[in-house]
Every structure is written in C-alpha cells, then in structure tokens.
C-alpha cells in the first residue's frame, strides 16, 4: 500500500531518546517521561474528548494544563518555582484561547486549511472544525510557553537564592529583564516553525498577487497561529515574572521563618 518507513522513524526516535538520557542525565530521563505523558494525553485524552463531541477549545486547555503540570513538576520538582511556571503557562494559554476564538470569528477562518481536514470531515462531519483550529493553535503554543515560563521562574529562583533580601518588586524587575531577552528568540522560534512547515505556501507567493495571497484561508490561518503564539509568549513574561517573584519570595520566607521558630 505504501513504502515501509517505520524502521527509519524507530531509529531516529531511538537516537533522540538515547542522547536525551546520556546528555540530560536525570533531567533527560524526566523529560523522556514527560514526552511520553504528553503524547499519551494527546492520543488518549484530547483526541477522544474531541471525537466524542466535547468542546475542542476546552479539551485543548484541559489537556495543556495536565501536560504542563506533569512536564514542569517532573523536570523542576514540586516547589514554588515549578508552580509559578505552571500558573504562568496556564494563564497564557487562556489568553491564547481567547485570541484564537476572536481571530477565527473576525477573520472568518473555516478550519479547513489542509487536505487532512477534508479527510477528517469525510470521517467525522459532525465535528466543530473552527474549534479544532483554535485547539491546534493552543497546543502549538504550549511548548514555547512552558519553556518561557520555566526559564523566567528558574531565573527568579536563582536570583533569590543569591540575595534573599531582594523584594518582590526587585525580583519581578529581574524576571522581566530576563524575559525581554527570551521574547525575541522565542517569538522567532514560533514564526520559523510555521514558516518551515508552510514553505510550499511561501514559495507559492511568488506566483500570486500578495493581497490575494495573504487573504487565502490557509495563509491567514498559519499567520494567525504564529502571531497568537507570539502574543501568548509576550503575555507569559510579565505574568510568570510576577507570580514567580511573589510565590518564591513569600513561600521561602515563610519556610525560613518556620524553621527559625522550630530552632528556637
């Protein structure tokens, strides 16, 4: 029926897993578990929920919350730093969900941006395809949001450990300074991912009027996805910086206070 490609996929996946554990050590092993958990959530939680008629947007947000909690707690441990990163990620995802619904409505995106959507429609014509489009935007932004949130929360935690006299405001400012450095590269990451996956569309622009090109449903969908993810990252920076500064400062000060009282 088709060429046998699974051996190549197994080989490259095996190489990735081995390098992840060898180079990452315990963190790499934890990342491997989190990847398996995320894939399982997509196939055994998100997919059944959508196929059984649940709201795709709510299903995507629910799955993303579970994925971010499992991933961040596995890699960073159960502490205020990880909790702050999860809260920052979740709030940013909610913003991304709201933006995606607004853009889909006002730009009148159909949810049929590729031939795979037509195949899905032929098998499940009752599905909410604009909702699925919004869900795909949410899931696509999840990885970059987790990366941004963890980077900021970890930085604030390290700064606090270096100087525990810093106030919440100063920790927040430090987090924002780091976040501004992250914004440029992380936004570029999302834009480049979408450009890379849509290179054929980019090449098509040389043969079509640009105004018509940018108004094509598929092109508008890809641009919207990239920009919504980038806006979510922008929102993630101040949200995570504030939450991390507040939680790390208050929780660790409380732990030290409790320890001193027990010592006395």
Confidence at residue 259, expressed as pLDDT on a 0 to 100 scale = 45
Q: Tell me which DSSP letter residue 206 carries.
A: G
Q: Tell me which DSSP letter residue 114 carries.
A: S
Confidence at residue 257, expressed as pLDDT on a 0 to 100 scale = 45
How far apart are the C-alpha atoms of 30 and 162, rounded to whole Å? Answer: 26
Tell which residue, 194, 160, 188, has the closest CA to residue 174.
160
Q: Which pTM does this prediction carry?
A: 0.86
Does the pLDDT of residue 184 top 80, yes or no? no
Q: What is the pLDDT of residues 119-168, one digit of tens each?
A: 888 888 899 999 999 999 999 889 889 999 999 999 999 999 888 888 89
Confidence at residue 57, expressed as pLDDT on a 0 to 100 scale = 93
Q: What is the pLDDT of residues 210-240, one digit of tens each?
A: 888 888 888 898 889 989 999 999 999 999 9
- The band of 262, judged by pLDDT with boundaries at 50, 70 and 90, is low
How far apart are the C-alpha atoms of 193 and 185, rounded to whole Å? Answer: 12
pLDDT > 90 fraction of the chain, expressed in percent and rounded: 53
Residue bearing tokens 């449903």:
217
Tell which residue, 226, 228, 224, 73, has the closest CA to residue 149.
73
How far apart are the C-alpha atoms of 236 and 87, rounded to whole Å? Answer: 10
Q: What is the pLDDT of residues 11-23, one digit of tens each?
A: 999 999 999 999 9
């Amino acid at each position: 029926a088709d060429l046998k490609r699974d051996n190549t996929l197994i080989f490259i996946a095996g190489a990735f897993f081995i390098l992840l554990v060898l180079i990452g050590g315990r963190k790499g092993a934890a990342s491997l578990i989190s990847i398996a958990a995320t894939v399982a959530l997509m196939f055994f939680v998100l997919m059944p929920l959508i196929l059984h008629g649940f709201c795709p947007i709510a299903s995507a947000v629910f799955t993303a919350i579970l994925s971010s909690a499992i991933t961040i707690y596995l890699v960073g441990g159960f502490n205020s730093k990880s909790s702050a990163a999860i809260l920052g990620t979740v709030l940013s995802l909610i913003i991304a969900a709201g933006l995606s619904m607004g853009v889909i409505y006002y730009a009148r995106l159909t949810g049929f941006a590729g031939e795979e959507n037509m195949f899905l429609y032929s098998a499940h014509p009752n599905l909410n395809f604009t909702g699925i489009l919004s869900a795909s935007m949410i899931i696509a932004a999840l990885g970059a949001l987790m990366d941004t949130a963890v980077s900021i929360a970890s930085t604030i935690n390290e700064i606090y450990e270096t100087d525990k006299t810093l106030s919440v405001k100063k920790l927040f400012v430090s987090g924002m300074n780091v976040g501004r450095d992250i914004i440029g590269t992380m936004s570029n990451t999302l834009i480049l991912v979408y450009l890379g996956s849509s290179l054929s569309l980019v090449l098509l622009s040389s043969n079509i009027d640009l105004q018509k090109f940018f108004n094509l449903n598929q092109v508008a969908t890809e641009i919207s996805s990239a920009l919504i993810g980038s806006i979510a990252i922008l929102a993630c920076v101040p949200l995570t910086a504030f939450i991390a500064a507040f939680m790390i400062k208050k929780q660790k000060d409380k732990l030290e206070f409790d320890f001193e009282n027990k010592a006395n």
